[in-house]
Structures are given as C-alpha cells and as structure tokens.
Structure 1
Amino acid sequence: MDETTQQPHILLVDGMALLFRSFFATAVRGQYFRNADGIPTNGVSGFARHVMTAQTIFQPTHLAVCWDMGAYTFRNDLYEGYKSNRPEPPEELKPQFDMARNVSEMMGWKNFGEPGMEADDLIGTITKKYNDAKITIISGDKDLLQLLKPNVQIAFTKKGFNIYDIYSHERFVEEYQIAPHAFADVKAFMGDSSDGYAGVKGIGPKTALQFIQKYGSVDGVLESLHELTPSQRKKIEENLEMLHLSKKLAVIHCDCPIEVDIKDLSLPVFNEELLQELEASGLGSVARQAVTLIS
C-alpha cells in the first residue's frame, strides 16, 4: 500500500469483456471503423472510450487492465470441454486482440496478462493483494461476484459507455443471502452453459442457491444428503464427479504469479504526443475523448 493518507481507489478493467462488447455493439450494424491499413478498429475504439468514461465516472486514483492471453487456460487441463462450445471470433475481431492491448499500453494504463490464466484470476489476485484499497471492477462477467468484499464493488456493463449495474458486498448479501465467495458453490451445482460445464444435471439456479443458503457450501450439502429429497440425492450422487470439477472450474484463483506495485497503477497523464499517436492509428474518436482528460 502507498504511504499517502488518501485511501487508493483502484479501477480494475476486464479488457477482453469490454473489447468484445464494443465490437459486437457496432459490428451488428456493419460499422468496423477501419484504419488506413483497412484493419477494423471498432472494438479497440470502444474499449478505450469505455475505460476513459469509467475514469470520469468512478474517479479512481489507480487503474489496471487485465487480459485473457489466448483461449487455453489451466481450466482446460482440468476439463477438456471448458469453453469448447464457444464459436470462433469473427475475422474482423481477431486483429483487434493485440491492437487493443497495444493501445491500452499506448494510453499509459498498466496491463496484466498471464498465459494459462484468465482475466478474472488476475483481477482476483490484485483484489486480494490490495485489501485496504477501495476497488471497482468493470466487467460483464457475473463470476466476479465471488470477489465482492466491503471494499470491493463490481460495475457490470449495462448500456452504452456509462450505464452500469453496480453490486456492492451489501447488495449481494441482501439479494442472495449467502457470502460472496460461496457463489462458486452455487455455480458448482447449476453449472455454466457459456463455459461448457454442466454442474449437476437437473439442478437449476434456484435450487442451487437454496442449497448454499441452507448448507453454506458444496461440502455442506454433501454432508446433509440425507436431508434432501430422494430425487435430489440421486441427481447429486450420479453427477458427483462433475459437481467437484465444476466447483474447481468456477473458483477464481487469486494467487497468480504476477508482480503488482501500486505505484505502477497510477493514472497516466495524457499529452499532445498521445493524441497525435491515436490519430495516426485511426483512433480519432479516442483522441477526441482523451482531450477532455488532459488537465
């Protein structure tokens, strides 16, 4: 933690989530905003503008962008079918993966990516390290709910660049009636169709949540199988291996091997050189918004 008296406020951005969201928001109308080389920039432009808008809204003192580094992660080692049901990204999006990270570095934002890990795991690692800071996470991924703590809020993208559905620790506990870390136990039972793991077949979100509300965890449910209905017991016993595997897949790992120094997360100062570089890269709309953040 830094030595200033002000509590740091770290904005943690799920870079790939914003890139995908921005790409599809404009691609549906065929707007790819190609640069002078003919390369689409719509996702990259939207990503950068989204982060700058978030800076204005949340007024952080520090900022980091976390990235997925390829489709294959340690979760694929645990389960070959993990995320295997997802379609290939569109051709217009593929060149924007590297471009987005390059532009993020150009903007001066601190970037984190670790082969074999997901952005969620990097976000979790930074959140764990800076337990005394105020932290705002920006993403569209509900898995991150398990990271909520009194000092952590999650701003889920909802509409445009500036409308969010914000979850605090207090709101989550009030709505779900469980501890945030137990959200992974809920997912262990209900599974996740977008990530390609089944949980316990026949156990839906409502029953999964009721299990954890009453018994606290997967282990708590298994210790109380005699209290469940015969149908519920049968479903769990027939899918026991997948239940345990689903829990491993659902848990965000907060001990990634990354070096994080809060001084490196300080907000950058934009200047004319950056604006010229953005314009030369075909990112005029990003440059125009960056002007508003030059003090």
Structure 2
Amino acid sequence: MAKNKKVLLVDGMALLFRGFYATAFSGNFMYTKDGIPTNGVYQFLQYFFNAVHRFEPTHVICCWDMGSKTFRTALYPDYKGNRPKPPEALVPQFDLIKEVTQAFNIPNVGRENFEADDCIGSLARQFSSDHEVLILTGDQDMLQLVDAGISVAIMKKGIGNYELFDCDTFYDKKGIHPQQIIDLKGLMGDSSDNYPGVKGIGEKTALKLLREYGTIDNLLANLECLPNGTERKIRENIDMLQLSKKLAAIRCDVTVSCTPDEALWHYEPLLVEEAFAELAFPNLMELVT
C-alpha cells in the first residue's frame, strides 16, 4: 500500500541560525515590546512555511540541540571547538522560537547528551516504516540518513531553493551511497565540526578510495594495495580515522518519543494570531493560510 502520510522533520537549529545570519547583516533587528530580538524567529518562519507549502506534510516535528556537551564532546573534547559562541542577539531567540512552534502544536524534540541530528535520525527510522519522511536542513551530514522512505531537502541560498536527495537520485548526484557519507567524513574529516580525519587526505582522494574499496573496514583490510603515500597517511592516523568515523555517524537509536498523533500538522489560527501579535509579526498570518 502506498504511503500517503508525510512527516517533515525540521532541523530547528539549522533554520534558526540560517535565518538569523540571513537578516542580521543589515543590522535592522526586529524586537518584541519587551525588547527581545526576533529576526531569527521571523526568518525561521519564512523558511518553514515555504517548506510546508512546497512539500505538504501531514505531520511535523522540530528537533533541537540541548546544549553544547554531548557524547561526541566526551569522545573528542575539541569537537566543534572552533565555533564561536552564538551572537548575543540570537540567544534569547532559542526559547522564543520553541514557544512559536508550540503555538502551532509542533512537537519540540531534543535529548540531552545528543545532537538534534541524532533525534532526527532516530525519528526518521521510527516513522519511515509507514510514513514518507522528509528531513529539512542545511546540513550535508544528514545525507547519510537517505534511505527507503527517507529523503533530505538541503536548503540552498534564498527562500524556496532546495536540493532534494532520495534513494533514486543519490548515487547520480554524489557518486557514493548514503551510508558511505560516514566513511567519507572519517577519511577527510570535517573542518566545520573540527575533527581532522586522516591528515593529507581530502575529499577527492577519499571519494576515490570509497569508490574502489566501499568501506573503511575494507580499505583497512587492503592497505598494502594502496600507493605508499596514502598507505602511510592512513597508518599514521588510524586512531583518528576510527574516531572521526564515530563522530560523523548520526545515531539512529536514541530514545525519543513522539507519536504520529502528537506530530499531526494542525493548529488553531487564534493561538497563532496571538503569538504573532505578541511578536509584532502582523504580516505573517498571510504566510500561514
């Protein structure tokens, strides 16, 4: 039986940060009557409703980070250690956006010691057996989650620009399979998350190795077949290779609870109007309807 239910899993942090920086450069911040900045929240809603109108979900869940300390920072204290603190004007908007999503009856899901990515991966696996799942994000790491019933919409510059990845199109676009993204990051590292992978191996070499050997495990079993320079780099960095792979892998076994009934996309217009009035967003109701 064909699936007719679509769950939209929203990477809340990705949308909020993107929305903040897309509007903050002008310096023209919006504020509530209490003086709380709202530009990130406003732009989040612009992104969100464009996606809702475009993809027409029947269910919506928003996932959030629950602090900077996770099992990954326990494994590698420098994980994401190169990132600056959030701008002061963004900090109060973390709680504010969750109040807005609650006004729409959207569940806010997060779990201490894990990232939003892990909650999204776990929910995607839970729902994909009898729902079509679409992940809305700007994070390329999420591509490892593409599977039967799970697709990913990567947000591009501007509003309404997406690159869609699913099982049918993934290999043609990337030249590897979704599960190989983890091994790719293990080899080449990730400068934005601040882990190095194998020093001296970049994306081009990593892709070539994975196309030839498939997995890191198979690669390690055939090290003597590699060019001397590549073999030496891997042998010298084998511990960091294995650690980087662990850091790159999105956990899909996190205990997160959200039932289909809780995630059903429905809202009371009056509650939304009240929330928008409180935020001084008089023109946003036209986006909602």
Deviation for aligned residue 1:138: 0.6
The equivalent residue for 1:184 is 182
Deviation for aligned residue 1:178: 2.5
Count of equivalent residues: 288
Q: Which runs of 5+ in 1 are unaligned?
A: none
Q: Give the counterpart letter for 1:205 in structure 2.
A: E
Return the alpha-carbon distance in structure 1 between the equivalents of residues 28 and 113 of structure 2. 33
| TM-score (ref. length: structure 2) | 0.96
Secondary structure of the 2:30 match is coil
Q: Is the 8 A contact 2:15 2:47 kept in 1?
A: yes
Q: Please point out which of 122, 134, 137 is paired with 1:136.
A: 134
The equivalent residue for 1:45 is 42
Return the alpha-carbon distance in structure 1 between the equivalents of residues 209 and 188 of structure 2. 11
Relative distance call for 1:6 and 1:149 in structure 2 (3 A) is closer
Q: Give the counterpart letter for 2:198 in structure 1.
A: V
The equivalent residue for 1:90 is 87
Q: Give the counterpart letter for 2:123 in structure 1.
A: I
Q: Deviations over 1:246-267 (max 9, x none)?
A: 0000000001111121111100
Return the alpha-carbon distance in structure 1 between the equivalents of residues 268 and 158 of structure 2. 24
Deviation for aligned residue 1:49: 2.5
Secondary structure of the 2:173 match is helix
Asked if 1:24 corresponds to 2:21, the answer is yes
Asked if 1:156 corresponds to 2:154, the answer is yes
Secondary structure of the 2:7 match is strand
Secondary structure of the 2:60 match is strand
Secondary structure of the 1:232 match is helix
The equivalent residue for 1:114 is 111
The equivalent residue for 1:33 is 30
Q: Is the 8 A contact 1:41 1:283 kept in 2?
A: no
Asked if 1:255 corresponds to 2:258, the answer is no
Q: Is the 8 A contact 1:67 1:111 kept in 2?
A: yes
Q: Give the counterpart letter for 1:224 in structure 2.
A: N
Return the alpha-carbon distance in structure 1 between the equivalents of residues 32 and 174 of structure 2. 46
The equivalent residue for 2:61 is 64
Q: Percent identity?
A: 41
The equivalent residue for 1:215 is 213
Secondary structure of the 1:174 match is helix
Return the alpha-carbon distance in structure 1 between the equivalents of residues 89 and 174 of structure 2. 39
Q: Which runs of 5+ in 2 are unaligned?
A: none
Q: Give the counterpart letter for 1:225 in structure 2.
A: L
Asked if 1:167 corresponds to 2:165, the answer is yes
Q: Is the 8 A contact 2:103 2:267 kept in 1?
A: no
Secondary structure of the 1:180 match is coil
Q: Is the 8 A contact 2:65 2:111 kept in 1?
A: yes
